């Protein structure tokens, strides 16, 4: 199963299609084997309703080829000014140099919410 892992960091999300959707989150995660549980706090958001939100997430992954894994997650977003919503995601990631390239499809249980297909690059250090 592997050792217990601890992740602490800051994530910045930039949405090129929307001028008022960028945000930054502080996060803390604990992982054991292929499963990680994390909590994030939105410290900066262009959308004032998102700032101050807390996000809870449980993720799992499975390596099926060298340097390549499939991932899935289920989470709950608890905005500071309205009732929370659940969300899920399913993706594919591949290690590339000092980081990882990923393609993820995600959806939220929220009226009027659009499902997203996201390409990302994560740098690890």
pLDDT of 18 reads 64
Whole-angstrom CA distances from 29 to 9, 43, 81 are 9, 17, 25
Q: Which of 9-13, 64-68, 98-102, 110-114 has the lowest mean pLDDT?
A: 110-114
The boundaries of the domain holding residue 63 are 4-123
Number of domains composing the chain? 1
101 pairs with which residues across the strands?
A: 94, 121
pLDDT band at 44, cuts 50/70/90? confident
Phi and psi torsions of 35, nearest 5°: -115, 135
Share the mean pLDDT of the chain: 87
């Amino acid at each position: 199963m592997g050792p217990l892992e601890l992740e602490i960091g800051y994530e910045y999300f930039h949405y090129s299609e929307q001028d008022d959707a960028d945000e930054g989150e502080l996060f803390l995660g604990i992982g054991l084997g292929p499963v990680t549980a994390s909590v994030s706090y939105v410290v900066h958001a262009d959308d004032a309703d998102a700032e101050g939100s807390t996000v809870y997430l449980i993720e799992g992954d499975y390596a099926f080829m060298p340097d390549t894994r499939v991932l899935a997650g289920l989470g709950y977003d608890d905005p500071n000014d309205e009732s929370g919503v659940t969300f899920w995601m399913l993706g594919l990631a591949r290690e590339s140099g000092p980081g990882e390239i990923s393609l993820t499809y995600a959806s939220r249980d929220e009226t009027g919410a659009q499902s997203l297909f996201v390409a990302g690059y994560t740098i690890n250090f």
